[in-house]
Amino acid sequence: MTRTAQELKREVAQAAFDFIAPHLDANAVLGIGTGSTANEFIDILGQSDVSFKSAVASSEASAERLRSHNIPVVELNSVDRIAFYIDGADEANAHLELIKGGGAALTREKIVAAASDVFVCIADESKEVATLGRFPLPIEVIPMAERLVMTALGALGGRPVLRAGVVTDNGNSIIDVHDLHITAPKALETTLNQITGVVCNGLFAHRGADILMLSGESGVRVLRAS
């Protein structure tokens, strides 16, 4: 029987939980991402009796969901290091480079990923692509720089579209860049970081995933960064 999208998310979240649980102890701090797949992981974690200390959340929404399970949520500034970061993605390639930010949480997600020893990315296999860019690339922008940044993004060959009505947890805007064919993700990530007014871009190439778990009809595939 064909699995629903929800079942695929649940299965990959369960696989991630099963993978990390044996490595946790009472001092472990977890990084928790944002989105419907990350939500499945939060619910599995919250219903488990696995021992860990606390969680750092990549969004206010995830922090709230964690607290609803009585999981202690702490600020990143209060922890030395995060053992595992578990989060979804909008696209992933074979090098475990990602596009993230469909849920507008990319900046905090990139910060938590940078502070984590192991980034476990969880998604269903519809997110797997040969070349990143089919999903519009989210860019977080200081609101007063929207027009300036959109002009610069257009000059790079993309088609920037302001995400209407969205304000990030950091008080900024999101521009989605359509029609990109990203053959050099690391170089593009660096270039986008140089645009004045850009807070963060949704390419996770310099710090991609360490482990990518993809659920599909035949189960969960696990890819590791080489």
Gap between the Cα atoms of 50 and 47, Å rounded: 9
Pairing status of strand 116-124 against strand 29-32: unpaired
Nearest to 123 by CA among 95, 176, 86, 84: 86
In SS3 terms, 5-55 reads as HHHHHHHHHHHHHHHHHHHCCCCCEEEECCCHHHHHHHHHHHHCCCCCCEE
Q: Does 208 help bind ligand 5RP (rule: CB under 6 A)?
A: no
Radius of gyration for the chain, computed over Cα atoms and rounded to the nearest angstrom: 17
Q: SS3 of 123, please?
A: strand
Q: Which of 42, 105, 113, 211 binds ligand 5RP (CB under 6 A)?
A: 105
Q: Does 100 help bind ligand 5RP (rule: CB under 6 A)?
A: yes
Question: Total residues contacting ligand 5RP (rule CB under 6 A)?
Answer: 17
Q: Does 34 help bind ligand 5RP (rule: CB under 6 A)?
A: yes
Provide the mask over 159-198, with x wherever binding to ligand 5RP is found by CB under 6 A and - wherever it is not: ----------------------------------------
Q: Does 131 help bind ligand 5RP (rule: CB under 6 A)?
A: no
Q: Which of 55, 106, 115, 212 binds ligand 5RP (CB under 6 A)?
A: 106
Q: Is 7 a catalytic residue?
A: no
- Choosing from 91, 109, 140, 189, which is the catalytic residue? 109
Q: Does 136 help bind ligand 5RP (rule: CB under 6 A)?
A: no
Residue 209 Cβ, how far from ligand 5RP at the closest point, in Å?
11
Q: Does 90 help bind ligand 5RP (rule: CB under 6 A)?
A: yes
CA 8 from chain center: how many Å?
A: 17
Gap between the Cα atoms of 85 and 114, Å rounded: 9
- The residues that touch ligand 5RP, with contacts defined as CB under 6 A, are 33-37, 87-90, 100-106, 109
Provide the annotated active-site residues: 109
